[in-house]
Amino acid sequence: MTADLAQRIVAFDLWHLALPVVSRRDHGIGRVEAEVEVVVLRLTAEDGRHGWGEAACWSVFTGSPEASLAALDRYIRPHVLGRPLAEAAGMTADAARAVAHCTEAKAALETALLDLTGRVAGLPVWALLGGCAQAEIPLSVSLADPDFAADLALVERLAADGVGIVKLKAGVAGHRFDLDRLERLRRDHESLDIRVDYNQGLGPETAAARLRDVAAFRPGFIEQPVAAAQFALMRRLRAAVEVPIIADESVFGPEDMLRAVEEEICDGVSVKVMKAGGLRRAQAVAGIAAAAGLTAYGGDMFETGLGHLAGAQMIAATHAIGLGCEFYQARYYLAEDILAEPFPIREGRVVVPRGPGLGIAVDPDRLDRFARQTLTREAA
Ligand SMILES: [Mg+2]
């Protein structure tokens, strides 16, 4: 073991942040407006280096920021503070057992451990995960504004920025609204890769007929049309339309992915670090999907650039995720991000950082500005 990895983690600091956003967004599962809340974790090693991680939560989907804060501070911290960095995988295993669910909190821990290890070792996180399979990742931006004129203006901006993929959030304001938006987007942006995400918004009575109408507009895929637990219905809908069906809320971790494969509910999966409970478990989800001949997409929650970095580093090292990513919030949705430099997007693609750790640090001044609560803990 090198001396650097023998050093202990001597501080474990948390921020519960509320970050203003630029517009309201409606999804099948719920609404986001005014601000999004995340929890940020900072680990400090004996040499003073930091590792950063984010728990990005959505109460109607994965969990709450309050639960993430409690999971990290009360249940996970005792398994981390004071331990040598070399035991990182033991820490994540202990954290997984210490508190049920709370996948975003576990993701924050593994992200911070990989960031810190990478900074100490002088290697990017993607190198720690096995090396780079894709240095740039095509970006998809979601359209979910109840004011469609505002989304049309966003699409013009995206075209100017070189973004070639959008995901239309559907199943909220009526089927006619969804079809009208698809028709307009298809008419005005012929070459745009349009995907549709229902966020569980359809019921069993209408889902098949609505998906057939939507399929006529040739979306790249249709994501999670019905409730997460409705595996049998997902399977029937998959048989009803030619367009690939992607599972999101139905599949959190590798265990769900195995069941999704066995029950043939989807043609692909939205892989998220926050759902899986970490980068390596997210890679496992993608690996299982690939082994079953399914596609994978790099999804996210309502994240800052810090959460995006964890996802981008994971996808960079994961050949099986071939449908791009949706790390757009830092640039297109938050009024202000928390990274010290802009999250890197160029010509419609996320450019994965090549520096040590996550590659970009957090700006501590912004944490203080957006903090609702701060918890500072040092090793005895
Ligand atoms: Mg989704």
- Report pLDDT digits (tens) over 194-222: 999 999 999 999 999 999 999 999 999 99
Give the per-residue pLDDT at 34.
87
Residue 2, C-beta contacts closer than 8 angstroms, at least 6 positions apart: none
Give mean pLDDT, residues 100-115. 98
Q: Are strands 9-20 and 35-45 parallel, antiparallel or unpaired?
A: antiparallel
Q: Check residue 107 and give left, alpha or beta (phi > 0: left; psi -120 to 50: alpha).
A: alpha
Mean pLDDT of 22-34: 85
For 111-144, the pLDDT digits (tens) are: 999 999 999 999 999 999 999 999 999 999 999 9
Residue 79 has pLDDT above 60, yes or no: yes
Partners of residue 296 on adjacent β-strands: 269
What are the respective helix, strand and coil percentages of the chain, to the nearest 5? 40, 25, 35
User: Which contiguous run of DSSP H or E holds residue 304?
Assistant: none
- Examine the pLDDT at 188 and tell me if it is beyond 90: yes
The 10 Å Cβ neighbour count of residue 121 is 16
Whether the per-residue pLDDT at 154 is higher than 80: the answer is: yes
**pLDDT for residue 2:** 58
Position with higher pLDDT, 21 vs 62: 21
Would you state the pLDDT for residue 3? 61
CA dist 134 to 104, 207, 228, 350, Å?
A: 25, 36, 30, 10
Tens digits of residue pLDDT in 233-292: 999 999 999 999 999 999 999 999 999 999 999 999 999 999 999 999 999 999 999 999
Report the separation in Å between the CA atom of 46 and the middle of ligand 1, taken as the mean of its atom positions. 40
Q: CATH: 3.30.1180.20, 3.40.50.740, 3.30.390.10, 3.40.640.10. Which one for 3-122+362-378? A: 3.30.390.10
CA 144 to ligand 1 centroid distance, Å: 12
pLDDT value of residue 31: 86
Res 27: pLDDT: 83
* Distance from Cα 26 to the centre of ligand 1, integer Å: 12
Spatial separation of the C-alpha atoms in residues 264 and 245, rounded to whole Å: 11
Task: Provide CATH 3.30.390.10 ranges for the chain.
Answer: 3-122+362-378
**Its pTM surpasses 0.95:** yes
Which residues, 6+ apart, have CB-to-CB distance to 264 below 8 Å? 235, 238
Ligand 1: centre distance to CA 29 (Å): 10
Taking the centre of ligand 1 as the mean of its atom positions, its distance from the CA of residue 82, in whole angstroms, is 38
**Residue 248 C-alpha to ligand 1 middle, in angstroms?**
5
Distance 191 CA to ligand 1 centre (A): 22
What CATH class has 128-351?
Answer: alpha beta
pLDDT, position 334: 97
pLDDT value at 152 more than 80: yes
- CA–centroid distance, 270 to ligand 1, in Å, is 7
42 Cα: distance to centroid of ligand 1 (angstroms): 28
How many whole angstroms from 28 Cα to the centroid of ligand 1? Answer: 10
Question: 199 CA to middle of ligand 1, Å?
Answer: 5
User: What average pLDDT does the segment 75-79 reach?
Assistant: 98
Residue 1 scores a pLDDT above 70? no
CA of 197 to the centre of ligand 1 (A): 6
Q: Give the Å distance between the CA of 200 and the centre of ligand 1.
A: 8
How confident is the model at residue 25, as a pLDDT? 86
CA 93 – ligand 1 centroid, Å: 27
Task: Tell how far the Cα of 60 is from the centroid of ligand 1, in angstroms.
Answer: 12
For 152-181, give the DSSP string.
HHHHHHHHHHT--EEEEE-SSS-HHHHHHH
- Range(s) within the chain of domains with CATH label 3.20.20.120: 128-351
The confidence band for 33, taking pLDDT boundaries of 50, 70 and 90, is confident
What value does the mean pLDDT take over residues 53-81? 95
Output the CA 300–ligand 1 centroid distance in Å: 8
How close is the Cα of 172 to the center of ligand 1, in Å? Answer: 14
CA 77 / ligand 1 centre spacing (Å): 30
